[in-house]
Structure formats: C-alpha cells, structure tokens
C-alpha cells in the first residue's frame, strides 16, 4: 500500500505533467511538440485514473494490477511516439519525415514482437514447471519493462548521436532529448538492477521509482518554460568525449 | 546475464546523458556576462575556478530562491559533487582528466555566479514591488 510519501510524489508528478502542457501552451510550442504534449496529457490522465481505481478497488486488487500494467504499456508506447516526434523534429530539414514515420511503425511492431517473444518464452518455461503464481508474473513484468525501456534508451542514444553528427544547435530540442535519455536510462538501469536482485530485500525501490518518474516532466517543463525556441548552443561542447 | 548487460549499458548511458544535460544547462548561462557588482562579490573576474563554487553557492543561499532556477541549481550541485568524486579518484591517475574536471568545476562556479546575478535582480524587483505597494 502506498504511504504518504508515495502519495505526495504521485501528486507532484501529476502536477508536473500538467505543468509541461501548460508551459508549452504558454510559450506557443504546443503544436510544434504535439507528440510530447499528448504523451504528458495521457500520463496525467492515467495517473488520475489509477488513483480513482486505487480508491475504488484497493491496492492489492486485480483491477488495479491490470490497469497499472496495461496503462504502463500504453504509456511506454506513447513515449515511443513522443520520441518519434523528436526524431522528426531533428530530421525535418532533411525531408525525411516519411521515412521516420515508416521507421516508427516498424520499430513499434518490432518492439511489440520482441516483448511478446520474451513473454511467450518465459510463460512456456514457467508453465513447463506448472508454476504461474503472482511472483512469477511479477518477474515477467519486470523483464518486459526492462527490455522496453532499454529499447527506448538505445533509440534515444542513436538520436543523440545523430544530433551531434548533424551539429544540431537548438537548445530546447537538445534538452528535451537529453532529458528523455536520462529518463530511459534511469528506468532501464533500475529495472535491470531489480531483475538482478530478485529475492533480495530492497527498501530503496518504492522511493526511487516514483521520484525518477518526476525527472522527465520536471526537465521538460523547465525546457519549455526557460529555454526560448530560438536559443542556440554549440553541440560539440556537450559531448563527453571532446570532438 | 541479459539484465547485467542492460544494467551496465544503461548506467554508462545514464552517466553520459547526465554529463551532457548538465553541460547544456551550463552552456545556456556561459554566454551571459557578469555585472561588476557580482564580480566584486564573488571574486570572479573573468574565468571562474572550481574553488569558487562553494563560496558562490553560500552567497546564492543567502538570496531569496527563484522557483525557476531551483532545479537547475540542484542539478549542477549534483554534477559538481560528481566532478569532485572523479577528481579525487580516477583523475588522480589520468592527468588529462584532472584538467577536464577542473575546467568543468570552473564552469559550474560560473553557472552559480550567473544564478546569483539573477537572484539579486529578482530580489531587487520584489523589493521595488513592495515599495510601490
């Protein structure tokens, strides 16, 4: 059952998600970064719906469990769409929008297929041992989430590499992509760590994940509010290895 | 095995994104020139050194907080601690890394000085508003 701390962070996260959309509208960037804003709006809606279901059915109810994991999956797909929106912003001057959209569809199908294969493989392994209890299902969800976040991380990494190569100078776009990279890497690393430490007692986990969830809306709200659309910087200065 | 590989790659990417993100925050402020007043207060004349950071942060904490820059100051504070950690461990054995961490620490101090400048003008605006009221 979530404690007062988790409720506070949950509320803060929802507030930050709303603030991303508000800042974006206030700065006239809503349509320019439509996929990002739609994702934030959806995340906010999901948070409210989760809270409603939690109040109605309870934390340990199957209704809450199913809604939590299905909505998480849909949000991850939404985040891929937001990432594709950033890809098309980076490649828009090259007229590669059509290819990016095609790539996005293929990627989404590929990721879905990959996740399905993992789930099927694990399910058959588990069913072979006639064990499919809640702990096994939890492990399955952990593994699938870890892989989905990892694919997102790889894609963001590729986009960041392309931005450095193309000498992208738009500060706001750079910050949006870097914040997304941070978010994906934090989640992929923490899910992988949790997967590695299955069975070990972990007291940090219930605090770490909700706080990490606030990172992305916080950084995006900052980018929309503080960084003007026409702000520019030299991208080579941002690379860890000097170019 | 798979989880281990993902963990190592993700941790490395996290480090890289974190450094780049902090640098992007710093780069946005590096173009801003400091006023003569802030130069006097902080002792930073042209180039800031890493040793100035602690002092500038103390001055920064004396000013009323601006909600807009709270998160970026915290992020740069974390980045500075990370650089200190690198400086006292890995950089001891790699001289080029020693130079790099020192230059980055100086950029962090300059970022803090720019934040101080903004907070001072924010405080002045608030005071002026109160006087008008």
Per-residue model confidence as pLDDT tens digits over B10-42: 999 999 999 999 988 888 777 788 888 888 888
The answer to whether the Cβ–Cβ distance between B3 and A146 falls below 8 Å is yes
Residue A4 placed within a domain: no
The answer to whether the Cβ–Cβ distance between B21 and A227 falls below 8 Å is no
Closest Cα in chain B to A157: B13
In whole angstroms, how large is the CA radius of gyration of chain B?
18
The answer to whether the Cβ–Cβ distance between A185 and B7 falls below 8 Å is no
Residue A6 placed within a domain: no
What CA–CA distance (Å, rounded) separates A111 from B128?
57
When divided into structural domains, chain A yields a total of 1
Residue A118 · residue A147 · CB < 8 Å: yes
Residue B126 · residue B64 · CB < 8 Å: yes
* A195 part of contact set with chain B, CB < 8 Å: yes
* B24 part of contact set with chain A, CB < 8 Å: yes
Residue A7 placed within a domain: no
What is the model's pLDDT at position A130? Answer: 42
- CA–CA min distance B71, chain A (Å): 8
What CA–CA distance (Å, rounded) separates A116 from A17?
30
Domain that holds residue A185: 13-230
Provide the 8-state DSSP code for B92. G
Nearest by CB to residue A178, choosing from B11, B21, B71, is B21
What is the model's pLDDT at position B49? Answer: 85
Regions in chain A scoring below 50 on pLDDT: 128-132
Residue A2 placed within a domain: no
- CA–CA min distance A51, chain B (Å): 27
What is the model's pLDDT at position A11? Answer: 92
Residue A206 placed within a domain: yes
Residue A8 placed within a domain: no
The residues, any chain, with a CB within 8 Å of residue A110's CB and separated by 6 or more, are none
* A145 part of contact set with chain B, CB < 8 Å: no
Q: In angstroms, what CA-CA distances link B68 with A37, A199, B82?
A: 20, 42, 23
The answer to whether the Cβ–Cβ distance between B10 and A192 falls below 8 Å is yes
* A160 part of contact set with chain B, CB < 8 Å: yes
What is the model's pLDDT at position A131? Answer: 47
What is the model's pLDDT at position A193? Answer: 86
Looking at beta carbons, which residues of chain A come within 8 Å of B6? Answer: 146-147, 150, 188-189, 192
**Chain segment B37-74, per-residue pLDDT in tens:** 888 888 887 788 888 899 899 888 888 877 777 778 88
Break chain B into its structural domains and give their ranges.
2-132
Looking at beta carbons, which residues of chain A come within 8 Å of B27? Answer: 171, 233-234, 237-238
- CA–CA min distance B3, chain A (Å): 5
């Amino acid at each position: 059952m979530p404690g007062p701390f988790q409720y506070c962070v949950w509320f803060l996260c929802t507030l930050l998600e709303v603030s991303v959309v508000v800042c974006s509208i206030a700065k006239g960037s809503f349509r320019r970064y439509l996929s990002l804003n739609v994702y934030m709006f959806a995340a906010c809606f999901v948070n409210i719906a989760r809270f409603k279901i939690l109040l109605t059915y309870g934390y340990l109810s199957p209704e809450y469990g199913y809604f939590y994991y299905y909505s998480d999956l849909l949000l991850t797909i939404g985040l891929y769409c937001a990432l594709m929106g950033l890809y098309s912003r980076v490649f828009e001057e090259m007229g590669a929008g059509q290819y990016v959209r095609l790539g996005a569809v293929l990627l989404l199908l590929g990721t879905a297929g990959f996740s399905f294969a993992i789930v099927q493989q694990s399910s058959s392994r588990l069913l072979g041992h006639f064990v499919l209890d809640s702990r096994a299902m939890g492990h399955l969800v952990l593994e699938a989430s870890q892989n989905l976040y990892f694919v997102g991380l790889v894609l963001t990494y590729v986009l960041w590499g392309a931005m450095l190569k193309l000498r992208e100078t738009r500060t706001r776009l750079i910050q949006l992509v870097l914040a997304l990279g941070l978010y994906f890497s934090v989640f992929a690393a923490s899910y992988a760590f949790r997967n590695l430490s299955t069975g070990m007692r972990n007291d940090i986990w219930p605090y770490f994940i909700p706080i990490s969830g606030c990172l992305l809306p916080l950084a995006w709200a900052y980018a929309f509010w503080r960084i003007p659309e026409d702000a520019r910087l030299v991208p080579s200065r941002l690379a860890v290895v000097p170019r | 095995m798979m989880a281990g590989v993902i963990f190592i790659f993700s941790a490395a990417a996290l480090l890289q994104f974190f450094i780049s993100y902090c640098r992007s925050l710093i780069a946005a402020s590096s173009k801003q020139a400091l006023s003569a007043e802030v130069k006097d207060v902080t002792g930073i004349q042209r180039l800031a050194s890493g040793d100035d950071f602690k002092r500038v942060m103390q001055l920064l904490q004396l000013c009323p907080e601006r909600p807009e820059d709270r998160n970026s100051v915290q992020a740069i504070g974390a980045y500075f601690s990370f650089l200190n950690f690198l400086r006292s461990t890995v950089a001891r054995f790699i001289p080029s890394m020693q130079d790099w961490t020192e230059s980055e620490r100086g950029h962090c101090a300059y970022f803090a000085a720019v934040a101080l400048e903004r907070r001072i003008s924010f405080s002045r605006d608030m005071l002026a508003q109160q006087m008008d009221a």
